[in-house]
Structure 1
Amino acid sequence: METKEQTKFGMILPIVLISYFLILLNNSLVFTSTVQISQELHMNSLMVSWVSNAYALTFGGFLAFSARLGDILDRRTVLLSGLVLFGIASLLVALSPDQTFLIAMRAVQGIGGALLAPATLALLMDNYTGKMLTRAIAYYGATAGIGASLGLIIGGLITSYSSWRNGFYLDVIVTLILLWLSLRHVHSTKQDRTSASIDWWGTLTSIIGFSSLVYSINGTAFRKSAIVITIIALTSFVLIENKAKDPIMPLVIFKDNQRASALIARFFMLGASMSYFFLMPQALQKVFGITPLMAAIYFLPLTVVQFIVSLFVARLTFKTSNTAVMIGGALVDTFGLALGAYLGIGQGYLIGVALPMIFIGIGQGLIMSPLTVAGVANIQDEIAGAASGAVNTVHQIGGAVGLAIVSAASASITDPSAMIDHAQLWMTVLAVIMLMACLNVLRGPHE
């Protein structure tokens, strides 16, 4: 029976998983190459963080619009457009002559990712239901673990033995493979959606609001002005979405306690996780004097454990409940981050880093899929894209905001050992908020 069910996935699930891997690979290439990029393009630590933040800023800013575009137009068209834009931007990143061009092209790459990500998750919801959907999302979560492992090792190999630019050429190759598969196997999802219109004012205020939010935390100038713009833009966005006929992010998504709590938890979970994956490889290289490849190998206790644990999530969910697995994952993830902050990298790699990584890997392996399931629970088909867009928006914005907060809080510390210990303390704070949001799911109906 198990084998029979697996054959029903067809090619849609592999396309979705490879697309997700592409995004993970793209992030991993940045995580492992920041030291080399900063040396080659003469970038300080704050400018280096914008190699990641520029991508996350546009990714998060355009996600709501892109997700709704898939509902209104056609998922296939949006997916193919995202792949083309992502591939072209990846090529231009690889060819970047200076830091300004690099950051600008990373921003364009983020727009491509914003078109790609919600379309792929919505494809799962379009093609699978019930236990098949739960299993598909579990595989989606498992990809986070294996994708992070492979991505870091591939990025480490490329950066250690050649130029960081070759990693982005690899992005182009994977994008071309995906484009070919999508043209052959992804069919049009356009139905009775032509009467809907694009919410341009909601789009504009969401892009301005989410982008200025990130900049207000980690910008180099006019940060107070950015805070004011953030408040005005996001307030306007909520008011517009409440009145719009066809909102890009229907507020009904947040009226369910389970969905709202899962989205908040995802926001802070990614804030802590993105900060860890961005800052720890740099710290490992600087504290222990190792290569980017060794830094990637040093991450295996986290990424391999995350992958192995995520393979059992669907089975655990069926035996217990989605909420129970989610809360268990949040507890273990928070403990792992707190343990790392308490022990400190000065204890040496095995005790100060690898041991906490095991708990972080278990926690992240358990929590990712349940957060996704809870984030799109009980949603209507006509706003499936918008719901997946909300999941991806809080995923990317949470990562960018969390990284901005942690980077800003530890930027003044020059000693790499002290910096990462202080950063892990702030990551733990974000994880505690994640845990509280997960526990809040228990206050209402939940799965």
Structure 2
Amino acid sequence: MKSTDTDTGTGRGPGAALAALAAAQFTVMLATSIVNVALPQIRDGVGLSDSGITWVVNAYGLAFGALLLAGGRAADLLGRRRILLAGLALFGVSSLAAGLATSSTVLIAARAVQGVGAAAIAAAALALVMGLFPPGPGRGRALGVWGAVSGAGGAAGVLLGGVLTQAWGWQWIFYAVALGTFGVLAAVAVSVPRTPVTGSGRFDVLGTATVTLALTALVWGLTSARRSGWTDTAVLGAFAATAVLLTAFVLVERRHPNPLLPPRLFRTGRVSAGNVLMALLGSVWIALFYFLPLYQQQVLGLSPLVTGLGQLPLAFANMLGSTLAPRISRRIGSTATVTGALLAEAAGLLWLSRISAQGSYFADVLGPTVLIGLGLSIAFVQLTALSVEGVPQQDAGLAGGLVNTTRQVGGAIGLAVLATLAGTATARAAADQPHLEALTAGYRTAFALSAAVLVAAAALALLLTRRRTDRPTGTEPRPTVAQPSA
């Protein structure tokens, strides 16, 4: 007989619970992008190099992505509400520590701990949403809300980061996240009901360790390649360690009675397709919010505040697309929705690849980012739905962890690769062009390559997401789903 999560929590209906869970997701996405506008100030404040500053982003993204699977499995085994509350507490404390940091070592370590907390939050919160809203139109609308707050969190992070950095300094971006997190923790404690513990078996400690170390070695190697070159001994050693550790992970998973990634997870719905495509989407998502503020500040000369305000149209487009996504999918089917959304985002990035060193926000940034926001949000909502389609309730936390893992790890890898290639393009252009022209050449390269990745993803979507009858989302037969206990 399965145990139950004994956390207290009265619950005030699914609407209040969804609001609290969406606020938790918003906070995680906010922390992903809030540092981007402040990177130049953080670099000077704690003494980081241009290449080292990427670790302020990657330390969070790597810990977040690497531990999402563990967070999802822990949520299934120990109780989703309990893991969510613990993750929020850790996230808030580490955010405060990041704001108080006076050295690069402490700051990067605090960002990594933030990522650990974020992994618990994202996996547990999505699993709770799946439990509250069974398959059908209700879940579609809930995932629309989920997509809206995810996209809005990314854009709002850039805006809030600009406002706080200019008004009070970069430390306040972390203080604000800490205060918001503690508020969300209180809302979750009041609004989200207790849930049954649906998972069983032992936690896969060795599998978690090997996959986490493998991902760490991979992203470290990719990031170091920008500074040292792809043939550097340490870089090649990191890639070799990645291969060894991933092999060990596969061997461990085959022998473990309760593996971190059970094969049954990939035999339901279109989980594999959704996760592959989410990884590709994620590979350009984080990079967009990294390069775009840099172009606005370093090339166009905009202040952090104006740069942040410039993200508002993207945020509004994101919320609009997330609201429309379930309706579009019900009308034309999931395959057409995903493919069209990816192509729309690719078109926006291709447009953005035409930026100029003598350009302006209205001529070079506004139009492309609105198109990107619409495509990104619709693709995110639909790929999230595909990634949890048909998953039994006992694996809801793991499925939520997996889709967030593929997005976040894809983002960390994508940022490392695109930053390396953009840096190479800038270095080549610097030989015969002014500094701002060279920087712009690097950013154009990053945006053009991002567009190419999404075109390839759209082609894959046509192949991977089709089924014999591509039912519009929300019309599937409803399986029996264990409901949360109040």
Q: Which residue of 2 aligns with 1:242?
A: 254
Offset at residue 142 of structure 1 (A): 1.1
After TM superposition, the structure 1 = structure 2 runs for residues 261-340 of structure 1, keeping only pairs within 5 Å, are: 261-340=273-352
Q: How does 1:155-170 map to 2 (within 5 A)?
A: 155-170=161-176
Which amino acid in the other structure matches residue 115 of structure 1?
Answer: A
CA displacement at 1:265 relative to structure 2: 1.2
Match of 1:88 among 82, 86, 93: 93
Matched, 1:357 2:363: no
Q: How does 1:46-445 map to 2 (within 5 A)?
A: 46-129=51-134, 130-191=136-197, 193=199, 195-219=200-224, 222-255=234-267, 258-342=270-354, 344=356, 346-412=358-424, 413=426, 415-445=438-468
Distance in 1 (CA, whole Å) between partners of 2:268 and 2:463 is 12
Structure 2 counterpart of 1:25: 30
Moved more, 433-442 or 376-385: 433-442
2:218–2:239 contact (8 Å) kept in structure 1: yes
User: Residue 240 and residue 344 in structure 1: after superposition, are their counterparts in 2 closer, same or farther (change >3 A)?
Assistant: farther
Residues in 2 aligned to 1:256 and 1:123: alpha-carbon distance in whole angstroms: 19
Describe the superposition over 1:330-367 as per-residue Cα deviations: whole angstroms up to 9, x where unpaired: 11011111222245565543333222212211211221
Give the secondary-structure state (helix, strand or coil) at the position aligned to 2:15: coil
Question: Bigger CA drift: 140-149 or 72-81?
Answer: 140-149
Letter in 1 for 2:81: R
- Give per-residue Cα distances to partners, 1:20-58, cap 9 Å, x unaligned: 111122123211111111122222221111100011111
Listed as ranges, the gaps of 5+ residues in structure 1 are 1-6
Q: Which letter maps to 1:439? A: L
Counterpart of 1:9 in structure 2 is: 14
Q: In the alignment, what sits opposite 1:4?
A: none
Conservation of the 8 A alpha-carbon contact between 1:346 and 1:352: no
Amino acid in structure 1 at the alignment position of 2:262? P
- Whichever residue aligns with residue 205 of structure 2, its letter is W
Q: Contact conserved, 2:162 with 2:305, CA < 8 A, in 1?
A: yes
Instruction: Name the CA distance, whole Å, in 1 between partners of 2:37 and 2:104.
Output: 17
Q: Give the direction of change, closer, same or farther, for the CA distance of 1:146–1:230 in structure 2 (3 Å limit).
A: same
**RMSD across aligned positions (CA):** 1.9
Per-residue CA distance 1:124-162 (angstroms, 9 max, x = gap): 111111221111011101112332333222211101111
Distance 1:358 1:174 in 2: 27
The amino acid across from 2:209 in the alignment is: L
Q: Which moved more, 1:244-253 or 1:130-139?
A: 244-253
Distance 2:41 2:390 in 1: 46
Describe the shift of the 1:192–1:98 C-alpha distance in structure 2 as closer, same or farther (beyond 3 A). closer
Identity %: 30
Deviates more, 1:147-156 or 1:121-130: 147-156
Stretch moving more, 180-189 or 83-92: 180-189
Contact preservation (8 Å) 2:300, 2:358 = no
Residue aligning to 2:433: none
> Post-superposition shift, 1:66?
1.0
Q: Distance in 2 between matches of 1:35 and 1:404?
A: 18
Checking the alignment, whether the CA contact within 8 Å between 1:330 and 1:434 is kept in structure 2 is yes
Which structure has the larger Rg over C-alpha atoms? 2
1:35 and 2:40 are equivalent in the alignment: yes
3-state DSSP of counterpart to 1:311: helix
* Matches of 2:17 and 2:292, distance apart in 1: 34
The letter for the 2-side match of 1:76 is: R
- Tell me by how many angstroms 1:255 deviates: 4.2
> How many Å separate the matches in 1 of 2:247 and 2:340?
34
Residue 230 of structure 1 deviates from its aligned partner by 1.0
Kindly state the Cα deviation for residue 310 of structure 1 after the two structures are TM-superposed: 1.8
Residue type at the aligned position of 1:100: T
Q: Please give the alpha-carbon distance, in whole angstroms, between the structure 1 residues aligned to 2:65 and 2:263.
A: 17
- Shifted more, 335-344 versus 30-39: the winner is 335-344
Distance in structure 2 (CA, Å) of the matches to 1:327 and 1:403: 23
AA at the equivalent of 1:286: Q
- State how far apart, in whole Å, the 1-side matches of 2:354 and 2:198 are: 56
Q: Deviations over 1:388-429 (max 9, x none)?
A: 111010011011010000011122425321221121122223
Q: Which moved more, 1:434-443 or 1:138-147?
A: 434-443
Q: CA deviation at 1:290?
A: 1.1
Instruction: Report the equivalent of 2:431.
Output: none
2:382 aligned partner, one-letter code: P
Residue identity in the other structure for 1:121: L
Name structure 2 gaps, 5 residues minimum: 1-11, 229-233, 428-437, 472-486
Range 184-193 or range 83-92, more displaced? 184-193
CA contact (8 A) 2:85 2:188 kept: yes
- CA deviation profile, 1:66-101 (whole Å, cap 9, x unmatched): 110111111122111111111111011000111111
CA distance in 1, matches of 2:466, 2:27: 37
How does the TM-score come out when normalised to structure 2? 0.86
Distance in structure 2 (CA, Å) of the matches to 1:237 and 1:131: 38
Is contact 1:80–1:179 with CA below 8 Å preserved after alignment? yes
Describe the superposition over 1:181-208 as per-residue Cα deviations: whole angstroms up to 9, x where unpaired. Answer: 2222333323464x51101111111111
**TM-score, normalising length from structure 1?**
0.93
CA distance in 2, matches of 1:443, 1:369: 17
Instruction: Identify if the C-alpha distance between structure 1 residues 247 and 344 changes in structure 2 by more than 3 Å, giving closer, same or farther.
Output: farther
Letter in structure 2 aligned against 1:241: E
**CA distance, structure 1, for counterparts of residue 97 and residue 308 of structure 2:** 25
